[in-house]
């Protein structure tokens, strides 16, 4: 039984290490190449982007953004929440393009006009449900689960070898051999 516990603990350790390492590589490469991930909190972009989805956004020159593109921006309202909505029209302003946006599920356009001072953020990919996983991990419940898993893993890796040595001594003694 303890051999299987140790094997399972080792497999979990390898899996956790691989997931963490892969995530770090993806984040570092993504940030370096101008990508960011945005977890969707509301249903304003449903059905294209649902709550719990992870939208991958890429830095884009404002002049390359077109009507129909989904863009991410800090809404010009109290608290400046990050919003991802679709461009419904574009005006030429003195300082560059002005974007009128609307959530796909919303009845009317947003009450603001967006102007990017340097680069904008255009949605390039949507990963269904992945944002909910990251939101969970960043919350209190996720931290507790991760801490419990790490504790269980360390406990299993520390205690299993000693238990195996004790078991092998008991087995050797019962078989009439001498314990090392």
Residues 110 and 47 in one domain: yes
pTM for this prediction: 0.66
pLDDT band at 88 (very low <50, low <70, confident <90, very high): very high
Query: 24 lies in a domain?
Result: yes
> Is 90 in contact with 65 (CB distance < 8 Å)?
yes
Given this model, what pLDDT does residue 140 score?
84
Provide the mean pLDDT of the chain: 83
Domain that holds residue 127: 36-137
Q: What CATH number is given to the structural domain containing 129?
A: 2.10.109.10
The string of pLDDT tens digits covering residues 140-152 is: 887 788 788 778 7
Q: Could you tell me if residue 33 is left (phi over 0), alpha (psi between -120 and 50 degrees) or otherwise beta?
A: alpha
């Amino acid at each position: 039984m303890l051999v299987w516990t140790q094997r399972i603990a080792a497999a979990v350790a390898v899996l956790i290490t691989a997931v963490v390492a892969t995530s770090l590589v993806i984040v570092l490469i993504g940030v370096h190449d101008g990508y960011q991930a945005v977890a969707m909190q509301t249903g304003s972009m449903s059905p294209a982007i649902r709550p719990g989805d992870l939208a991958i956004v890429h830095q884009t020159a404002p002049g390359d953004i077109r009507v129909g593109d989904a863009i991410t921006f800090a809404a010009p309202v109290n608290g400046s929440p990050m919003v991802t909505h679709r461009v419904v029209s574009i005006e030429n302003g003195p300082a560059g393009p002005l974007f009128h946006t609307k959530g796909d599920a919303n009845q009317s356009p947003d009450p603001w006009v967006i102007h990017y001072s340097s680069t904008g953020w255009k949605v390039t990919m949507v990963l269904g449900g992945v944002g909910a996983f990251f939101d969970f991990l960043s919350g209190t419940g996720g931290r507790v689960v991760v801490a419990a898993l790490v504790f269980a893993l360390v406990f299993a890796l520390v205690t299993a070898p000693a238990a195996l040595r004790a078991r092998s001594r008991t087995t050797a003694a019962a078989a009439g051999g001498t314990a090392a």
